[in-house]
Amino acid sequence: MNLAFKFAYRYLVSKKSSNAINIISWVSVLGMLVGSFGLIIVLSVFNGFEGLVISLYNSFNPDFTITAKEGKSFTPSTFQLAELKNLTGVRAISEVVEENALLTYEENQYIATIKGVDSSYGSITGIDSAMYYGDFILEGSGQDFAIVGLGVEQALGINFENPFGMVNVYMPRKEKIISINPEDAFNRAPIKPTGSFAIQSEFDSKYIFVPLSFARFLTDYEAEVSSLELALQPGADGFHVQQNIARVLGAGFEVKNRLQQNAVLYKVMRTEKWAVYAILTFILIVAAFNIIGSLSMLVIEKKKDIAILKTMGADDSLIRKIFLLEGLLLSLIGCLSGFLLAAVIILLQQKFDLLKIGGGSFVIDSYPVIMKPGDFILVFLTVLSIGLLAAWFPSWRAAKDPYHLSQE
């Protein structure tokens, strides 16, 4: 291998009889550089957006949600709640009631999801950090308050400075009531909006937070909940905690972690990332044809050298190794150069936000990028594989009878 590498390196740096061989060789290096650079940049941008989306969803979603497999609600027993709170790794637990409702504010109407939560909910998620106006306070001085999504606020035209502005919440009664007045079929209660949150449009235009007792009044619930939401202690093993939760509750409940709560979202992001990776890999394969061309021309030029090596006892395996290594060197020079250039661009983007996102309506101003070692390893192996495949035919051709090559 050492002898083969010496010949491959010599053929790479030495002057060729035809300048076209040199040009094609460096064009193939440039193709691998651009392909590697593009793959790392695109994968890093996807990593950045994935991290951004996950952080946005994590500020709303808890570590675990517990729902009944059948029915919209269930009544957790005091024993179950106590066991869940005492599980190793569980930091906090909150009871939640969710139901769709009609909201009215002055002359405006809007259908949203009422999310009733207890006093411990603030420690379950990062909703506090997502407040757009006001603080996440749902009760005070014997009065109930509502925290609305930014989209709900805009749809209703809420003015938080208006001391008399109230959101009226209508929810269908469980029991059917025969009355000539349509409003008798609804539970109705006013509540004072005191703040809004902004996370992502999916949440901002859907949810309004209210106290748990307020939501239970509207839904005619006594001790029922729509779900239980749990938060993990820092460093806790989520997999084992999830198993323990399922063991405590039994087969009638479904326990979902953050990944399972947004399974479709994560699947779509992963699919998009691998689709782009596949497209750019095809571009690398096209660039590899330059390697085939340059090595084929090099084999023809070095046919006398090959004949001399065979006369001196070199076998076909050594000849193949020389040109395989030549192809690998062309690929690796392009790959490592692309890595270096991509790393520099990514670091500059992280520090100076060079490339901005147009429009000004997104949650960030510039493209997020995150470098991951796994991406570099994946691209390196991809380039290595493509380089080997591209070099295989010229190396096999070089190992043929040199006299046959000269006749060609």
Taking residue 130's Cβ as centre, other Cβ atoms within 10 Å add up to 20
The DSSP 8-state label assigned to residue 94 in this structure reads E
Mark whether 242 and 341 lie in a shared domain: no
Mark whether 377 and 284 lie in a shared domain: yes
Pick from 340, 367, 334: nearest CA to 352:
367
Phi, psi of 371 (to 5 degrees): -85, 135
Joined together, the tokens standing for residue 307 give: 């004949």
Ramachandran region of residue 99, left (φ > 0), alpha (ψ -120 to 50) or beta? beta
Longest dimension (CA), the chain: 108
Mark whether 137 and 202 lie in a shared domain: yes
Domain interval for residue 380? 2-57+265-407
165-197 burial, b if ≥16 CB within 10 A, otherwise e?
A: ebbebbbbeeeeeeeeeeeeebeebebbbbbbb
Q: Tell me, what's the pLDDT at 18?
A: 65
Q: Tell me, what's the pLDDT at 359?
A: 60
Is the per-residue pLDDT at 164 higher than 90?
Answer: yes
Percent of the chain with pLDDT over 90: 64
Joined together, the tokens standing for residue 96 give: 């939640």
Is the per-residue pLDDT at 383 higher than 90?
Answer: yes
Q: How would residue 177 be classed by pLDDT, with cut points 50, 70 and 90?
A: low
Mark whether 138 and 195 lie in a shared domain: yes
Tally helices (H) and strands (E) across the chain.
13, 11
Residue bearing tokens 């969803």: 57
Mark whether 198 and 239 lie in a shared domain: yes
Backbone Cα Rg of the chain: 32
**8 A C-beta contact, residue 364 and residue 357:** yes
**8 A C-beta contact, residue 60 and residue 231:** no
Q: Tell me, what's the pLDDT at 398?
A: 84
Is the per-residue pLDDT at 7 higher than 90?
Answer: no
Strand-pair category, 227-232 with 64-68? antiparallel
Q: How far apart are CA 234 and CA 91, in angstroms?
A: 9
Q: Tell me, what's the pLDDT at 296?
A: 86
**8 A C-beta contact, residue 391 and residue 326:** yes
Q: Tens digit of pLDDT for each residue in 266-306?
A: 899 889 999 999 999 998 998 899 899 888 888 888 888 88
Q: Tens digit of pLDDT for each residue in 66-87?
A: 999 999 999 999 999 999 999 9
The DSSP 8-state label assigned to residue 385 in this structure reads H
Q: Calculate the average pLDDT of the chain.
A: 90
Q: How far apart are CA 5 and CA 10, in angstroms?
A: 8
Greater confidence (220 vs 182) lies with: 220
Least confident of 53-57, 341-345, 384-388: 53-57
Q: Tens digit of pLDDT for each residue in 132-155?
A: 999 999 999 899 999 999 999 999
Q: Tell me, what's the pLDDT at 403?
A: 46
Q: How far apart are CA 208 and CA 191, in angstroms?
A: 11
Mark whether 71 and 83 lie in a shared domain: yes
Q: Tell me, what's the pLDDT at 37?
A: 96
Q: Tell me, what's the pLDDT at 405?
A: 47
Pick from 81, 103, 87, 95: nearest CA to 148:
103
DSSP letters along 108-141, please? EEEEEEEEEE-TTGGGTSSGGGGEEES----EET
Joined together, the tokens standing for residue 364 give: 């960030």
Last residue within a domain, chosen from 231, 261, 291: 261
Q: Tell me, what's the pLDDT at 364?
A: 81
**What's the rounded mean pLDDT across residues 176-205?**
86
Last residue within a domain, chosen from 261, 278, 296: 261
Is the per-residue pLDDT at 360 higher than 70?
Answer: no
Four-point Cα dihedral 160, 359, 201, 166, nearest 10: 10
Q: Tell me, what's the pLDDT at 406?
A: 46
Last residue within a domain, chosen from 213, 242, 261: 261
Mark whether 42 and 118 lie in a shared domain: no
Mark whether 245 and 270 lie in a shared domain: no
Pick from 301, 306, 304, 294: nearest CA to 398:
306
Q: Tell me, what's the pLDDT at 1?
A: 55
Q: What is the number of structural domains in the chain?
A: 2
H/E stretch holding 295 reads helix 263-301
Q: Which range has the top average pLDDT, 3-17, 248-262, 357-371, 390-404?
A: 248-262
Is the per-residue pLDDT at 335 higher than 80?
Answer: yes
